[in-house]
């Protein structure tokens, strides 16, 4: 290998050697367009770095020289340090790596260990190594205080322990590029699984429904099946040891038939009480809290959609809220939702209850005057997803999934997210952030985003209403949902 191994390439090698090899030898095959999520995370990382530079320890003095983005390189390796502090009298260098993360992770140690290896290989002496992360207990109140926002962790000991293996693995990475990896499904990418670029290049005709879709299947069993040449879920032997739920999923896939536990669904439907509320939140989380009262990475509700069916046979009515970034978005949302539900709460339907319930508990803690309301909402919440995640309703086209975007197209094909300007949660949260924070957007661009957000969030609750109707149709005519 003639080129220097960069820190980025080394970290990629640790994640997936085969994709690392492919990107070096055939970069056009793995080149992908920059996604909205990637760009958002990159900008977030840059914002965190800029704030970290304001820490008092990085103020230059006669004793120390502070460098940002300082490169270290030799004939074999190249790395750039986020922040380095050099003691002028001795030349001793302390390295700092800034991460928009809630805690120090193993890959952060790998990152800074590679930097230290390259620096020392270039004749410098590395003193101490630090990783800067976000302080999860920090609550914003006014202007951001960098001294409170960040946690600076001394990881020198971990880095020193890792140095020998870092040198070995870096050399192995360079040597690996001189080999020709033998493609094997058994050695699938731990991060991307069958979505690995190397795997897809060598196995272009993989089935759509595979053993990777079997719910909660352990890696050992998955590799065992792959080693036997079993990739499609329909090829799993009938006597292969699986849990009851896994066996049921495989059987439905093989038969291609819908399986419904009608009795259990009827039992649940008959226990629901009117008025029925169908609720969905959209949230935003960022390393640097953007509003007062928030912590780093705290999920802040900025939008809800609520469809209410007041009585059996009644048409649903719609309430919604969408913050435009004014004041305290979660407080305004809480007040709006409380008013929208003032007519009474029978059952509140959500999709994946732990998410909505956690948001409700957070808002109850943030706004004690609304605590009783959110506690009542949580006590009356029903998770519509459980009908599908608990295998009460299994359809081969769900492919073992229970997300609303997998269930809806199968049960209610006339509804679709595909034609929306915003069609997924990640795009929704990033688009909202840009609309309320980016001064470069025109008013027309902002209004388009807000309009698209309203349509997206509304479809989530319309989807639940239609899936609810599909389930109620399974109930015998003599049964009725209880009216509170």
pLDDT of residue 481: 52
Residue 479 has pLDDT above 50, yes or no: no
- Cα–Cα dist 372/36, whole Å: 38
443-472 vs 262-270: helix axis angle to the nearest 10? Answer: 110
DSSP state of 481: P
Average pLDDT over residues 192-200: 86
- Cα–Cα dist 117/125, whole Å: 10
Domains along the chain?
5-176 (3.90.320), 186-243 (no CATH), 263-483 (3.30.420)
Residue 415 has pLDDT above 70, yes or no: yes
pLDDT of residue 197: 87
CA neighbor of 339 nearest in space, from 294, 306, 302: 306
Q: Return the structure tokens found at 296.
A: 């780093």
pLDDT of residue 191: 80
Kindly write down the DSSP assignment for every residue of 180-245, as one continuous string.
Answer: -PPP-GGG-BTTTBTT-HHHHHH-TT--SSBGGGSTT--HHHHHHHHHTT--BGGGS-TTS---HH
Under the banding of pLDDT at 50, 70 and 90, the label for residue 189 is confident
**Tokens 């025109």 appear where?**
442
Average pLDDT over residues 178-186: 91
Residue 265 has pLDDT above 60, yes or no: yes
443-472 vs 425-437: helix axis angle to the nearest 10? Answer: 150
CA neighbor of 15 nearest in space, from 212, 219, 197, 192: 192
Residue 28 has pLDDT above 90, yes or no: no
Average pLDDT over residues 329-355: 96
Under the banding of pLDDT at 50, 70 and 90, the label for residue 237 is very high
Question: H/E element holding 464?
Answer: helix 443-472
479 or 349, which is more confident: 349
Q: What is the largest CA-CA distance in the chain?
A: 88
Average pLDDT over residues 314-328: 95
190 or 71, which is more confident: 71
- Cα–Cα dist 290/99, whole Å: 18
- Cα–Cα dist 453/432, whole Å: 8
Most confident range (mean pLDDT) of 112-116, 254-258, 309-313 is 112-116
Residue 478 has pLDDT above 50, yes or no: no
Average pLDDT over residues 232-254: 94
**Residue 65 backbone phi and psi in degrees, to 5:** -115, 130
Average pLDDT over residues 179-183: 92
Per cent of the chain over pLDDT 90 is: 85
Q: How far is CA 103 from its chain centroid?
A: 16
Least reliable range by pLDDT among 8-12, 102-106, 256-260, 471-475: 471-475
pLDDT of residue 63: 95
- Cα–Cα dist 111/104, whole Å: 11
Under the banding of pLDDT at 50, 70 and 90, the label for residue 2 is low
Q: Please, what is the average pLDDT of the chain?
A: 93
Residue 210 has pLDDT above 90, yes or no: yes
Residue 44 has pLDDT above 70, yes or no: yes
Question: Which residues are paired to 86 by β-bridges?
Answer: 65, 93
pLDDT of residue 453: 97
CA neighbor of 287 nearest in space, from 50, 43, 44: 44
Q: What are the tens digits of pLDDT across the range 294-313?
A: 999 999 999 999 999 999 88
pLDDT of residue 484: 44
Question: What region does 261 belong to: left with phi over 0, alpha with psi -120 to 50, or beta?
Answer: beta
Under the banding of pLDDT at 50, 70 and 90, the label for residue 187 is confident
**Tokens 């803690």 appear where?**
365
371-379 vs 353-366: helix axis angle to the nearest 10? Answer: 160
Parallel/antiparallel/unpaired status of strands 381-383 and 347-350: parallel
> How far are the Cα atoms of 284, 360, 432, 450 from residue 301, in angstroms, in the given order?
7, 9, 11, 15
pLDDT of residue 383: 97
């Amino acid at each position: 290998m003639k080129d220097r191994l960069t820190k980025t390439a080394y970290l990629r090698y640790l994640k997936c050697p085969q994709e690392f090899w492919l990107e070096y030898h055939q970069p056009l095959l793995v080149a992908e367009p920059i996604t909205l999520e990637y760009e958002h995370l990159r900008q977030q990382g840059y914002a965190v770095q800029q704030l970290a530079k304001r820490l008092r320890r990085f103020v230059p003095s006669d004793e120390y020289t502070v460098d940002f983005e300082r490169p270290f390189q030799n004939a074999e390796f190249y790395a750039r340090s986020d922040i380095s502090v050099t003691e002028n009298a001795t030349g001793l260098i302390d390295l700092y790596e800034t991460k928009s993360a809630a805690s120090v992770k193993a890959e952060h140690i790998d990152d800074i260990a590679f930097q230290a290896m390259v620096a020392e290989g270039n004749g410098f002496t590395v003193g101490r190594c630090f990783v800067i992360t976000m302080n999860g207990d920090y609550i914003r109140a006014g202007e951001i205080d960098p001294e409170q926002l960040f946690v600076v962790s001394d990881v020198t000991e971990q880095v020193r322990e890792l140095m020998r293996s870092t040198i070995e693995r870096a050399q192995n990475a360079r040597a690996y590029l001189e080999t020709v990896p033998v493609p094997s499904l058994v050695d699938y990418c731990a991060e991307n699984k069958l979505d690995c670029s190397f795997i897809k290049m060598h196995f272009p005709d993989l089935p759509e429904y595979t053993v990777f879709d079997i719910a909660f299947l352990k890696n050992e069993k998955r590799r065992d099946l792959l080693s036997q040449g079993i990739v499609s879920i329909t090829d799993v032997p009938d006597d292969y040891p699986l849990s009851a739920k896994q066996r049921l999923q495989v059987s439905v896939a093989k038969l291609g038939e819908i399986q419904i536990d009608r009795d259990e669904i009827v039992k649940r439907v008959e226990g629901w009480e009117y008025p029925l509320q169908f609720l969905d939140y959209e949230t935003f989380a960022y390393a640097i809290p953007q509003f007062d009262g928030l912590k780093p990475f705290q999920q802040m509700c900025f939008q809800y959609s609520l469809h209410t069916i007041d009585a059996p046979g009644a048409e649903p009515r719609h309430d919604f809220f969408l913050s435009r970034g004014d004041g305290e978005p979660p407080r305004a949302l809480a007040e709006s939702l409380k008013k929208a539900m003032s007519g009474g709460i029978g059952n509140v339907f959500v999709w994946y209850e732990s998410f909505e319930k956690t948001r409700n508990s957070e808002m109850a803690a943030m706004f004690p005057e609304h605590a009783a309301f959110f506690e009542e909402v949580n006590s009356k919440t029903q998770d519509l997803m459980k009908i599908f995640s608990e295998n009460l309703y299994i359809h081969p086209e769900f492919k073992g999934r229970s997300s609303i975007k997998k269930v809806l197209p199968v049960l209610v094909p006339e509804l679709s997210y595909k034609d929306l300007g915003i069609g997924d949660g990640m795009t929704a949260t990033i688009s909202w952030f840009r609309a309320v924070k980016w001064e470069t957007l025109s008013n027309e661009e902002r209004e388009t985003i807000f309009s698209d957000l309203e349509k997206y969030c509304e479809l989530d609750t319309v989807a639940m209403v239609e899936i609810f109707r599909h389930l109620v149709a399974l109930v015998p005519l003599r049964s009725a949902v209880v009216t509170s």
